[in-house]
Amino acid sequence: MVQNAIVKKIVRDGVAEVSLLRQMECGLHCDGACAGCTAKPPQEILALASNAIGARPGDFVEVEPSGKRNISTSVVVFLLPCVGLGLGYSLGLSVLRLGELTSLLTAAVGLAAGFLPAFLMDRAITRSQAPEFAILKQLR
């Protein structure tokens, strides 16, 4: 999905920090005419982007997410906790022959175990400082 962003600063050669602009109904093209606009995002969303076009701070650019980790991240974040929940419940009910209420506790342990890889992946992505986006073109 292509998004608009503003280049904030150059982090290192070929990598820039960009402020992502949320897509709004008005497109945020009011040029200050609607000072009471509630559509403007309350906080900045900063991300790293590969800067192959040589954009400079202040440039309005179009960015696209790098598709390297999208599917694997989705599997880890969404599928593993569900599998852990189901396996925990099944393990408690069938293998350990616990009651249904006690099996819910093993399901909770399975859910927590399913979230652990997502937590570790989030930490690894945060520490890697790899660009999450690629700057496609300069808009203005």
Question: What is the number of domains present in the chain?
Answer: 2
Task: Give DSSP secondary structure letters for the chain.
Answer: --EEEEEEEEEETTEEEEEEPPP-SSTT--TTS-TT-S-S-SS-EEEEEE-TT---TT-EEEEEE--SSHHHHHIIIIIHHHHHHHHHHHIIIIIS---HHHHHHHHHHHHHHHHHHHHHHHHHHHHH---SEEEEEE--
Tens-of-pLDDT digits for all 140 residues of the chain? 788 999 999 999 999 999 987 655 555 555 555 555 555 555 778 989 999 999 999 999 999 987 666 778 888 889 999 999 999 999 999 999 999 999 999 999 999 999 999 899 888 877 887 888 999 999 87
Q: Let me know whether 64 and 10 are in one domain.
A: yes
**Enclosing domain of residue 97:** 70-128
pLDDT at 139: 87
Q: Let me know whether 110 and 76 are in one domain.
A: yes
Count Cβ neighbours within 10 Å for each residue of 55-64 and write b for 16 or more, e otherwise: beeebebebe
Whether the full predicted model's pTM is greater than 0.75, yes or no, is no
Q: Let me know whether 75 and 87 are in one domain.
A: yes
Q: Let me know whether 13 and 62 are in one domain.
A: yes
pLDDT at 83: 95
Q: Let me know whether 50 and 77 are in one domain.
A: no
Q: Let me know whether 26 and 39 are in one domain.
A: yes
pLDDT at 124: 87
Q: Let me know whether 43 and 53 are in one domain.
A: yes
For residue 36, what is the domain's CATH number? 2.40.50.220
Q: Let me know whether 64 and 87 are in one domain.
A: no
